């Protein structure tokens, strides 16, 4: 997980306000795209992605300003990574296609667990459905 953590931190360090706003503008279409992910080996992935999308959306729209900016940047990076068509492991691989996506998303959730749990409480989200499990 150390390598994924470095990868996420590096990617998040590249996120600017302009990138955040661009992802925010695309969120309605991204949410539709993410909802259609079929990854039976990673049963929590869609809920986790949706949770991160809601975190970013609430932050950019001013509904929740409590989450640290580093966590917001990591959430943005994770959403961009999941959307990206050129993954480390192609999503077309039926066995492991979403392993990298799941690892990036889980890393963001684990690295920011306290802040994300508190956000879930503030926003009435079910944290238990957004576990840090694969």
pLDDT tens digit string along 19-31?
999 999 999 999 9
- Domain enclosing residue 62, as ranges: 2-129
Q: Assess whether pLDDT exceeds 80 at residue 89.
A: no
Which position has the higher pLDDT, 133 or 129? 129
In angstroms, the CA 9 to CA 106 distance is 13
Give domain status of residue 134, yes or no: no
In angstroms, the CA 71 to CA 90 distance is 26
Q: Domain total for the chain?
A: 1
Taking only the tens place, the pLDDT of each residue in 29-73 is 999 999 999 999 999 999 999 999 999 999 999 999 999 999 999
Which position has the higher pLDDT, 74 or 87? 74
Q: Assess whether pLDDT exceeds 80 at residue 92.
A: no
H or E element at residue 73 = helix 69-83
Q: Assess whether pLDDT exceeds 60 at residue 134.
A: no
Give domain status of residue 19, yes or no: yes
What predicted TM-score, i.e. pTM, was given to this entire model?
0.93
Nearest alpha carbon to residue 8 among 132, 98, 101: 101
Give domain status of residue 116, yes or no: yes
In angstroms, the CA 64 to CA 52 distance is 13
DSSP 43-70: TTHHHHHHHHHHHHHHHHTTS---S-HH
pLDDT interval class at 129 (50, 70, 90): confident
Give domain status of residue 111, yes or no: yes
Nearest alpha carbon to residue 20 among 56, 65, 71, 49: 56
């Amino acid at each position: 997980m150390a390598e994924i953590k470095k990868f996420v931190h590096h990617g998040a360090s590249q996120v600017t306000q302009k990138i955040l706003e661009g992802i925010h503008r695309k969120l309605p279409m991204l949410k539709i795209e993410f909802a259609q992910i079929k990854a039976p080996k990673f049963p929590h992935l869609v809920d986790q992605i949706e949770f991160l999308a809601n975190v970013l959306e609430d932050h950019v729209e001013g509904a929740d300003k409590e989450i640290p900016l580093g966590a917001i940047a990591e959430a943005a990076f994770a959403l961009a990574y999941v959307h990206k068509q050129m993954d480390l492991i192609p999503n077309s691989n039926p066995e492991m296609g979403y392993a990298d996506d799941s690892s990036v998303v889980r890393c963001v959730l684990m690295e920011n667990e306290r802040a994300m749990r508190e956000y879930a409480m503030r926003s009435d989200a079910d944290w238990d459905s957004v576990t840090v499990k694969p």
